[in-house]
Amino acid sequence: MTTPVTVRAPQPSGDYPLLSVQDLRVRFATEDGPVFAVNGVSFDLRAGEIIALVGESGCGKSVTAMAVPGLLAPTATVTGRVLLAGRDLLELTPKELRAVRGKEISFVFQEPMTSLNPAFTVGKQIREVLQRHEGLSKKAAQARAVELLQLVRIPAPERRVDEYPHQLSGGMRQRVMIAIAVACGPKVLVADEPTTALDVTIQAGVLDILRDLRDELGTAIVLITHDLGVVADLADRVVVMYAGRPVEQAEVHELFAHPQHPYTNGLLGAVPHREQGVELVAGRRLAEIPGLVPALRSDPDECVFAPRCSRRTDVCTSRRPPLEPVRPGHPAACFHPGEAS
Ligand SMILES: Nc1ncnc2c1ncn2[C@@H]1O[C@H](COP(=O)(O)OP(=O)(O)O)[C@@H](O)[C@H]1O
Ligand SMILES: [Mg+2]
């Protein structure tokens, strides 16, 4: 970002976790009984850090991402703690939460077209968040909107600010969503597959913007992605999720160099790339693992990956593997951890 911006940066907070998610659990009530969507996810995020949540479809990534800023439907029961700068978001009233969301913690979702209002100009939609949270005048908010479009590298921002969403490409719309999300200088941004719906050629631009936000504003980012190249490129730490449970967590280099859980090994595939540490090619998807993610109708006291696991023994179906360090700073929930041979 070479252009000067007036977006307020969160203050660096040293080693203090900006966001601390502790034993997050989400259960949905449905007509067919409960769904145990997230079962005990914990992670800390410091200013300027990016943590990636990875796992196949249906593993509870989006539910985790939505639970953090309190966006789940009322059918969800959420327990645990979500401490944002020490304050538990799960304890806030809906009104208090609305004041925090968009200002201290923001989110960007996969499909930008459904999140933007087709009836209003881009400028009006950016102004709305600035006027609501910062009490800016219309004129000041419009000027800030142009700066924000510049921040997310939208060419000719003075013109674009008066356009409607349908006049923009998918990549541009996603940039507008990011501009709205960061308009008030949030400490934390939750980005759920922000590039999945975009063409490969424009994904990189959106990811560069996330990197800029992290590097220049110190924004901490919870990034959900299927793309291991993106993880290798952007993330500092990784949480691997399977069937609603965290199965392995580590710093990105450690995880790619020494994956311990058979699920992680499966995702990474039989990778010669691993020889080169994290030198993965962007666009590389999670490897296919035979079998399906189980329906989350229960939270059983056994390893949920056992039915698909080549290392399975009796212990795996007799009790739940604890998420405990297998290497320094590197927990995995497996009775038979280790790198694939
Ligand atoms: N509103 C809901 N009601 C019931 N079940 C849900 C709801 N939202 C998500 N789920 C279930 O929670 C599980 C995790 O979903 P999700 O977090 O969207 O997975 P991911 O993002 O990893 O693909 C899935 O089994 C999904 O069907
Ligand atoms: Mg999802």
Q: Is pLDDT at 282 greater than 50 in this prediction?
A: no
Residue 239 has pLDDT above 60, yes or no: yes
By the 8 A CB rule, do 146 and 158 touch?
Answer: yes
The yes-or-no verdict on residue 121 having pLDDT over 60 is yes
Ligand 1 atom closest to residue 192's alpha carbon, by position in its atom list: 21
Q: Alpha-carbon distance 323 to 105, whole Å?
A: 28
Q: What pLDDT was estimated at residue 196? A: 81
pLDDT of residue 295 exceeding 90, the answer is no
What is the spatial order of strands in the sheet that 33-45 belongs to?
33-45, 19-30, 76-84, 87-88
Cα of 193 from ligand 1 centre, angstroms: 15
Residue where the block lists tokens 């249906």? 58
CA-to-CA distance for 24 and 33, rounded, in angstroms? Answer: 20
Q: What is the pLDDT of residue 94?
A: 92
Q: Cα–chain-centroid distance for residue 227?
A: 12
The whole-number average pLDDT for the span 198-204 is 81
More confident residue, 219 or 197: 219
Span 161-188, mean pLDDT?
Answer: 93
220-227: average pLDDT = 91
Residue among 24, 28, 227 to mutate when testing ligand 1 (max atoms within 8 A of CB): 28
> Comparing 44 with 292, which gets the higher pLDDT?
44
For residue 19, which amino acid is it?
Answer: L
Q: Which residue has the tokens 């700073």?
A: 329
Q: Cα separation of 26 and 154, whole Å?
A: 37
With a 6 Å cutoff on the Cβ, whether 47 touches ligand 1 is no
Q: Say what the pLDDT of residue 271 is.
A: 45
Nearest CA to ligand 1 atom 7: 28
Rounded to the nearest 10°, the torsion over CA 293, 319, 36, 304 is -10
Q: What's the confidence (pLDDT) of residue 56?
A: 86
Round to whole Å and give the CA distance between 2 and 150. 10
Mean pLDDT along residues 311-326: 96
For 63-87, what is each residue's pLDDT tens digit? 999 999 999 999 999 999 999 999 9
Kindly tell me if the per-residue pLDDT of 41 is higher than 70.
Answer: yes
For residue 251, which of 50, 48, 26, 57 has the smallest C-alpha distance? 50
Q: What pLDDT sits at residue 281?
A: 43
Residue 109's pLDDT band, with cuts at 50, 70 and 90, is: confident
State in Å: Cα 58 to ligand 1 middle. Answer: 6
Name the pLDDT band for 43 (thresholds 50, 70, 90).
very high
Top CATH class of 19-332 equals alpha beta
Strand 76-84 to 19-30 pairing: antiparallel
Asked if residue 36 lies in contact with residue 10, where contact means CB atoms within 8 angstroms, the answer is no
Q: Are 266 and 287 in contact (CB under 8 A)?
A: yes
Q: Is 165 in the pocket of ligand 1 (CB under 6 A)?
A: no
**CA–CA separation, 15 and 83 (whole Å):** 15
Average pLDDT, the chain: 88
Specify whether the CB–CB gap between 21 and 81 falls below 8 A: yes
Tell me if 58 CB under 6 Å of ligand 1: yes
pLDDT of residue 170: 87
Whole-number percent of the chain with pLDDT over 70? 87
Identify the pLDDT of residue 146: 97
Asked whether the predicted pLDDT for residue 34 surpasses 60, the reply is: yes
Is-contact 80 90, C-beta < 8 A?
yes
What's the pLDDT at 103?
93
Pick 115 or 255 by higher pLDDT: 255
Question: Who's near 39: CB < 8 A, 6+ residues apart?
Answer: 25, 60, 244, 245, 299
Task: Say how far apart CA 202 and CA 89 lie, in whole Å.
Answer: 34
Residue nearest to atom 16 of ligand 1 (CA): 60
Instruction: State which ligand 1 atom lies nearest to the alpha carbon of 63.
Output: 17
Amino acid 16: pLDDT: 75
Question: Residue 105's CB: how many other CB atoms inside 10 A?
Answer: 25
pLDDT tens digit string along 261-274? 999 998 887 444 44
- Amino acid 21: pLDDT: 98
**CA 187 to CA 182: how far, in whole Å?**
9
Whether residue 1 is predicted with pLDDT greater than 50 in this model: the reply is no
Residue nearest to atom 26 of ligand 1 (CA): 58
pLDDT value of residue 191? 94
